[in-house]
């Protein structure tokens, strides 16, 4: 069964590489306390491949999914997290939900919900 999911991962990566675009992702740094000392994590910037889609009007409920939200399918080459900032067409969007597509133990892609920052 794992072989099937690995093939699905490879197919998703191949299609995203062929039809998708590279997008810049910013993960803001933070300050954590470890053993009583401040540990500063710097901002991280990386790129990932994705395809932009819009939500079907029937999916927009005004609370969880709002008008203006977009849906992106991203490759699984980088772990995406809530509040990562993606630059799309010169505008910044927050990842509200990364929504990993992960049957079994294989992460195939992300089907993320983004909202204008």
| Domain range annotation of the chain | 2-30+38-116
**How many other C-beta atoms lie within 10 A of the C-beta of residue 94?**
14
Residue 1: predicted pLDDT: 58
Q: Tell me how far the alpha carbon of residue 17 is from its chain's centroid.
A: 15
3-state secondary structure at position 103: coil
What CATH class is the domain 2-30+38-116? mainly beta
**Torsion sign across C-alpha atoms 68, 82, 58, 88:** positive
Residue 2: predicted pLDDT: 63
Q: How confident is the model at residue 100 (pLDDT cuts 50, 70, 90)?
A: very high
Q: How confident is the model at residue 20 (pLDDT cuts 50, 70, 90)?
A: very high
Residue 105: predicted pLDDT: 84
């Amino acid at each position: 069964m794992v072989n099937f999911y690995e093939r699905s991962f490879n197919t998703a990566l191949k299609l995203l590489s062929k039809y998708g675009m590279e997008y810049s992702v910013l993960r803001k740094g933070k300050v954590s306390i470890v053993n009583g000392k401040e540990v500063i994590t710097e901002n991280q910037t990386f790129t990932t491949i994705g395809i932009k889609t819009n939500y079907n009007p029937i999916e927009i409920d005004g609370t969880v999914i709002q008008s203006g939200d977009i849906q992106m399918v991203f490759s699984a080459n980088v772990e995406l997290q809530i509040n990562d900032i993606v630059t799309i067409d010169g505008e910044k969007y927050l990842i509200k939900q990364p929504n990993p597509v992960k049957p079994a133990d294989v992460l195939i892609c992300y089907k993320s919900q983004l909202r204008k920052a």
